[in-house]
Amino acid sequence: MKRITWSTLASMLAILAVAATVPAQQAKAPIPVGIIGDLSGPTSALSEMAYASRDYFNYVNEKKGGILGHELDVLLVDGAEVIPIEVSNYKRILTRHVPVFLYIWSTGGAKALRDPVNKVDRVPMLAESISEELVDPKNLPFSFVIGPTYEDQIRLALESFKKQGGKRVAIARVNLDWGVSPTDRVIKEGTIQKLGMELVETVTWPARPTDLTSEVLRLKQANPDFIWFMDSIEGVVPFLRDAAKAGLDPAKVVGIHWTRHPAIEAQLGKTAEGYRTLEIFPDVDTLVKGDHPVGKEIDEYQAAHKGRRGQLRTWYYVRGWVKGKLVAEAIERAIKKSGGTPPKDIMAFRKAVRDEFEGLQNFDAGAALPSINYKDHKGFVAARLVGIKDGKWQYASDWIQVTGR
């Protein structure tokens, strides 16, 4: 029998001591994040944004082992763009998941939760909605959006109409909070009249319309120079289809950024010739061609997860991915600032993450965007015009800064 010497025993004990530390290092507490998306409701065609944020957090876990060794524990639930469901899911996430950061989908849901988010639970929230009613750094310190608000985009479009000699303006919108409230706000503030133009017609329809013939005929009869369009892809396809049948020129129509969708090319092609919309985020293939980091990241992740839902190449996916990236950056900065360990008190951790998110300045997200600056809780306030030309989306302008930024 071989005798164990003291030196051998000491070496074995040292190895065991090192091994004993490994589970402790691997057992760092996960960081919970909650996402409320519309996975089945009237704006579910945009659900890639929610899936993409989830996918980015999974990418961080797989690629980097989480944030400083803390895996992100993501809970994605369906709010269906129904306010009571979103509020109910918010309460469930807050009590069962206890998130450090939260995503909320609809304008109505985010508005209903402004007080709980900012005054009670004090959890940093990045809304999918970009309503101006969610942006108030002083009174809503935990609420953030990304990109120019709906109202910013309407004003930008109206200024563009003015420069093109427009005098008569019409508004076409969906009867959802995000479609009605922002347009009503801009109408009430008198922006159209201040620009020397006249509002000649406003038409409103239910979510997910199938026939917009009567609304299109009302617009045609009003004879506007330009029409501001406020609905998602579910509305713009039937609108442009019925506009073509009625002889309403799609070149008169400029849409909210949600309508920048490949379905217009695929389903309408040259029927939508001249239609323009605002773009805030480029799509995945544009980023890949431009050799931008986010394009490479998405390609890498999607190649490893073929067949999973949430894999489209649209700008919706880019938007969700970038949102995940911004949140992860703020969380990492907050942990580093607290000495490398997250604050044990959840309220203190949320406050630290909120402060770091607001502190993101001149941040390059790697997605061919303007610099990210969150002092105003918007991130950036610029957009580009894109239009259907020869049956395909093509850029019609460079970045346009919203007046007053």
| Res. 26 pLDDT band, cuts 50 70 90 | low
6, with CB counted inside 10 A (0-12, 13-18, 19+), is exposed
What are the chain's domains?
31-148+284-374 (3.40.50.2300), 150-279+384-401 (3.40.50.2300)
pLDDT confidence tier of residue 265, bands split at 50, 70 and 90: confident
What confidence score (pLDDT) does residue 144 get? 98
pLDDT at residue 306, as a whole number: 83
Per-residue pLDDT reduced to its tens digit, 335-345:
999 999 999 99
DSSP-derived 3-state class of residue 169: strand
88-111 confidence digits (pLDDT tens):
999 999 999 999 999 999 999 999
Least confident among 21-25, 200-204, 209-213, 344-348: 21-25
Rounded to whole angstroms, how far apart are CA atoms 203 and 218? 8
Question: 312 pLDDT band (50/70/90 cuts)?
Answer: confident
Instruction: Quote the pLDDT of residue 282.
Output: 95
Q: Quick one: pLDDT band at residue 404, thresholds 50, 70, 90? A: very low
What DSSP string runs through 200-263? Answer: EEEEEE-SS-S--HHHHHHHHHH--SEEEEE--HHHHHHHHHHHHHHT--GGGEEE-GGG--HH
Position 164, amino acid: Q
Label residue 334 by pLDDT band (50, 70, 90): very high
pLDDT band at 161; cut points 50, 70, 90: very high
pLDDT at position 403, please?
Answer: 62
Is residue 5 scored above 60 in pLDDT?
no
Q: Is 367 exposed, middle or buried (0-12, 13-18, 19+ CB in 10 A)?
A: buried
Question: Which pTM does this prediction carry?
Answer: 0.89
Q: pLDDT tens across 115-158, in order?
A: 999 999 999 999 999 999 999 999 999 999 999 999 999 999 99
Tokens (6 digits) for 345: 């008190």
Q: What is the mean pLDDT of the chain?
A: 91
- 19 versus 147: the higher-pLDDT residue is 147
Yes or no: say if 338 and 352 are a contact pair by the CB < 8 Å rule: yes
Distance CA 334, CA 13 (A): 37
